Structure 1
Amino acid sequence: MPRLTPPAPGIDSAGAPPAARFSGPLRKRSLLLSIWPFVALAIVQTVLAISSLHILGAMRAFSSGESQWSKGQKDATYALARYAVSGDAAAYEQFHQGLHIPMSDMQARLMLEDRGYAARPQASLLLLQGHNEPEEINALIWLTVYFKHTESIGQLLARWRDSDEPLQELQNLAGDIYACLQLAPPTPAQKQSWLAQINSLQIQLSEAERAFNKVLGDTSRALNAWLWSINIGIAVAMLSLLMGHTWRLQRKTARAEDALDLVSERASTTLAAIGEAVITTDAAGHVMYMNRAAEELLGMSLEQLVTCELVQHMHAPPLVTDRDKPGVAPLVQTAISETLRGHEYPRDTIFRLYDAQFHLREVRLAFTPIGDHTGTTEAVWVLHDVSQEQSYIRELAWQATHDQLTGLINRYEFERLLGVLLARNQQSDLPSAGNAIMYLDLDQFKVINDTAGHIAGDAMLRAISAMLQRCLRTGDVLARVGGDEFAILLTDCAFGEAQRIAEQIRDAAQNVRIQWGERSLSAGISIGLVKLAAPLATVEEVLRVADMASYGAKQRGRNTVYAYDPGVDQEIARYVGEMEWVERIKAALERGHFCLYAQTIGALNTTADDIAGGGLHIEVQIRMRLPDGNIISPVLFIPAAERYGLMPMVDRWVVKQSLRTLAHLQKSGQVPAISCCAINLSGTSLGDERLLGFLQEQIALHAVDPGTLCFEITETAAITHLPNAIRLVKALKALGCRFSMDDFGAGVSSFSSLKNLPVDFLKIDGAIVADMLNEPAHRAMVDAINHLGHALGMRTIAEFASTPEIVETLRSMGIDYAQGYAVGRPQPFSHPAAEAFPV
């Protein structure tokens, strides 16, 4: 649930303002903030006391260890003296047992001084062997490692080191005595010497012991005095600080209470003036406080409602409405009751509230509990009126999904509903009666806008919209998806029934007329009807096909219905395929997926070879390379490029790449050299006034010999764009370029047009050449075109020369050149080698 902080003030049982109830917690918090220095000093003193005890324990460990060390060395000297006199092996063993104690302590000290705390495990074992108390060993190691550089502990360790040399000498002396006794009995003089040495070492060890005890006592007394001084100082500081902070705390607390009383008074005044309803209740929901806005909302004063249960005095709905059905926003009464019982609502929940005039309002409810360690004692409710805001949101949501002119849903909402239907059909295993979509386009609507104005056009759209709604069944979806375009989604509708509805709409549209001044305006309608069936699976595919079906209806004379069933009709599928090729062509131009191939044009006689320049005579052809590496023939994508106006871009790409490659080959000294390179120009490019300037610019840019260039134009394109074609041919021939008339004989040949087009080569259409051996008429046409070309001073080229028999026949007929698989297959033209174009 949302929480409101701070809560609104109320009136407690003692009559004090609610702000007074906050003074206790505020004082506690202020007190805690004020006494933190004392807590810090107490922590310091505690740490110091623990450290003091630890240090004193360590000093006690030194004292205890020294007594064990002293006793051990004394036992060792006495036992060694007895052994020197008597040679008793038991005395010698007692010597080692006694000496082991101080030697173990010495070895532990040396390891700690050398390796520090890392030697703790080994040092602990040695100190245990030195008869030190196990619980004191850690303290002894800690003091030795971390305080060995201090003056006191440093002196203590120095006095301990004074015993290292006598102990080592005592051990060496014992070894000498043992060796002598093993060889022969000692003389009295030897015994006397040994006893004198033992006595001397005993004196040295006793002096080291006394010096160690003196330093140990001095250090303990100094440390004790130092610790007492620090503890007393901290205690005095704490008392002084406590007195000063107590006095300041009292003054600060008094000022805080005064300020809190002032804030409480201001808060009460503010709550009384704000526009949101603020109500305070106890834990059971009985009213304790209301501001003026709450009194106006409920139509009752605080005096009337105080101690009364809030939900019992809020206005109930005057009548049962649709809003009271399951799923709609709950009433505020319900929310308050359930919240007091522990149920929580999301922060953005909208509730319904009926004011004193029984007008419905939409509100957000903020709830803040007030309580102590025993639980919730009071609750603060804030009712924020969001009726106008929600109205704006609903209006914006409607505008986002509807057309303001007609009130129909718009394209975005229609696409969403269509997507839901397609997804449901794909997931459902149950058979369906069928679904269909209609795409409707008004005929000659632009004429109405241009002649009568857009206001008249809007009136016509509203009239058409009303007519369409009358013609549809319950459950059908109608949308305005464009300026004069509508779409209809027919659900659970057989395709035959959908066709009947489409015809009904078309007939009804003919009767829609609006009177505009003295004119009676009408508009027909073209309908594209599409059955929603495989392979149409996405919204994009369906709308594209529906748009094409509508276009097909217009092409059939307008005011018609074009019904498309994906399983039967293939015409739209062809349009879809072409549109896919359009996207592929655009992508190929942008990403460089086109490539060039070249096919040899072979001379069939010596004269023709000389005219071609004596080198390679080739025709450049375009291919498309797919991402998987496959090469696509132009037969698959050129028709789509021609239909949708992409050929100028394709032609310009071919020209640029061809000239770039030719320039490279001419500079690299290609052998044999390319003496004639034919490049195709489409009819659309011929109609472009800027083509000539582009070709001249590219020839100059790449510095290609114009005499090696031959531009191929088709007969049909030349006739269609004859003025431009003549101008282009003459201008480029002036530079030295040559021209070829491609596919001559494929269309309605205009022999007279050849007089106006001074082309150099006449290419006979391959469809005629391919069947000339089997079709006498085709052979006669080839022969006639050949004679015509020669008569006009042109050289002839026969396409589709696929077999050696055709080539020989062409040679015998006097054809100048042949092009086809029997002469040479197309080869990549990026960096061709000489053997790439066999003749």
Structure 2
Amino acid sequence: MAVFATGLVVTVTMTLFLLKLEYDRSLQQTRSDLQTLGKTATPQLASNLWLVNTESIHSQLNSLLQTRVVQHALLVESDGQQYASGQELNIGHDVVTESFPVVYLHPLTNKEVVLGELKLSTTLSELESRLYAQFLRLLLLEGLGMATAALFFLILYHRLIARHLSHIAEYTRHFNYGLLSSPLHLQRTVDKPDEMQTLVDAINEMRGNLQRGYREREETQRALYVEKELAEVTLISITDAILTTDHDFKIKLINPAAEQLTGWSTQDARGRFVADLLCLGGDLTPDELYQVLGRARDDLKAQNAQKAMLLNRDGAKLNVEYAAAPITDQDGQVVGLVLVLHDVTEAQALTEKLAYQADHDYLTGLTNRRGFENALVIAHQQVLLDHQPHILMLLDLDQFKLVNDTCGHLAGDELLRHVTTLLQGLMLPGRSILGRLGGDEFGVLLSNTTHAEAQVLAERMLHALAQFRFVWQDRPHGVTVSIGLVKLDHRCASPQEAMSQADVACFAAKDAGRNQLSWYSSDDQDLLERHNEIQLLATLKEAIEQNRFQLYFQAITPMNRIDAEIPHLEILIRLIDSNGRVITPGAFIPAAERYDMMAQIDRWVIEHSIKYLADRVHSNSPLPQLAINLSGKSLNKQTLAFILQQLDMTLVPPYAICFEITETAAISNLKESSVFIETLRTRGCKFALDDFGSGFSSFNYLKTLPVDFLKIDGSLVTDIADDKVSRQMVIAVNDIAHSLGCKTIAEFVENEAILHELAAIGVDYAQGFYFGKPAPLV
């Protein structure tokens, strides 16, 4: 409809424009015709007026009307007389009048004389009627043309544009995220690169962008949901209390841990100032809390953990560590804060408990070795700086092991508690520290005490424990104590030296018959030797812990070629002290035996000897047979289990190992020794009885000791070349060994003469400096 209206307006406008042009042209033509007629008629009229030829004037005026151009002619003389012809016309918009002066050229004077004025008038009504009719015709023709063109345009517009626009409008009208996967296509067979296709491509590109944006939004929303769920689950699962606040420190959210810690629910806490929850008592004030939160907010920086004691809503006392951090938006503006509280109440109580336990004995409640040694360090400093007299006592119960072994550990623990109570009642108030140093060993540190006072106190402790009777399951047990005392003065180099000296004095008291006290004196030679042994004992412990032993060997040489195929080596041990010096066994074995450390040393030798054999197995090297010495303390089930474990773990052939035991050790516990030997011989190990022949009483036990070798005591071998008695004793030992199926090994072979005699007697192996001195195994 708009197209038709537009076409009509255009048609009317164009027709009027054309008619206007035609009207102007016709008007101009009419005026031009009137001008032509007027200029032609005025000379003749001027002559007729001059001659006063009225009839000619009328005739001439009528002739003007015959031209069909002039419809009214009026001649007005100068004196006002008028001559008119035709119908007088009313002056209007459709009347055109042209005026012409009537001038006569006088023939005599040759001057122009104005005789009057000629007015020629005509109407445009006929022109207007003609133009109107022409307007109607043009309007009709142009209207039909425009209508036809408009109709054609409409058809073409609908075909090329309107229906596609309608399709696009319908597509966009129903456009939603569900149709993003369906692209827009025009309803035509061939895509043309025109403006419509450009629009479709733009819409499809927009669809693709929306689809990608929608997909990204979906992924982002899904990720945000996951993150939200994760954050909520994490917040719920975190055992620390979490409180979030707004910019003004008002609570927005607290997690379950915070609810439990503070006693406030999320609903009750929301909107309250954080100080209302946390500053109900204790040492955390609102000003201090807001100062920490303010720094986190203003500095945009997390604040390090602070410690505080709080009272929650229920009045419970809590020790916490709290820290604050700002929460910012995308623009970096602070929108809130997060406050984390870690409850350290139990941890702090545990720390205090552990600190107490670190310095106190769990059984008796006394100061333990660590706490006692710390007190001794302080006392030693006071002695050096202030010359304050201090005395150190070491107490060792004499019958504790008997009670512990016969009645059990419960009885032993109860005995220690009774002894503790007894000793605490004897302490000097304010001047003594009583501690349990381990096992059945106690220590007493006295300050501002004289030698006589310490002597009296020690005697009172001896008397009190001697009178004490410990009853367990209706059986009484006597308990005594050995006490070693040492005075702390400027001559005492260190607290460790003081402990060592007191230990020496305590051992001296035990050696003196127990239930004794002994003062340490640097002038006492026996105490000095015992002191050296104790220092060596510390060296032995360090050597075991720091692996400062070294294996040596001495060859055992066969007397015949058949046995020479397999090397036989006796394993020996050396101690490497802190200065790198090599210490021989004679210097430390007695101390190790005295202080029950031989079993530990034996295990070290067993482990490293078997490791040496295992390394040779892995390197495909020939295996020697190693003779490993065992002390009497190692002939037990524990060492037996250890040896079997080492053999199973390394897969070393048992036949490559021979254990040497002394006849004294074997005979002292014959039953356990027999089980030990029999078990390992069953696995394939060999056994040698060392130092045999030093006493003939041992002949009675050879039948019950299943050994493979007898090592003839060196004291018999050294004199064999010169002493017939020694030679006969060696012959006897050798004959008895062979009769029992054992081979013999002669020790201390130092020269060729001894070797010659042994060969003549028929001894199987020889060992001594003649073949070489001990050397490092690796």
Bin for the TM-score computed over the shorter chain: 0.3 to 0.5
Which structure has the larger Rg over C-alpha atoms? 2
Q: Which has the higher strand share?
A: 2
Q: Give the TM-score taking structure 2 as reference length.
A: 0.44
Q: Which has the higher helix share?
A: 1
- Higher relative contact order (Cα pairs below 8 Å, separated by 6+ residues): 1
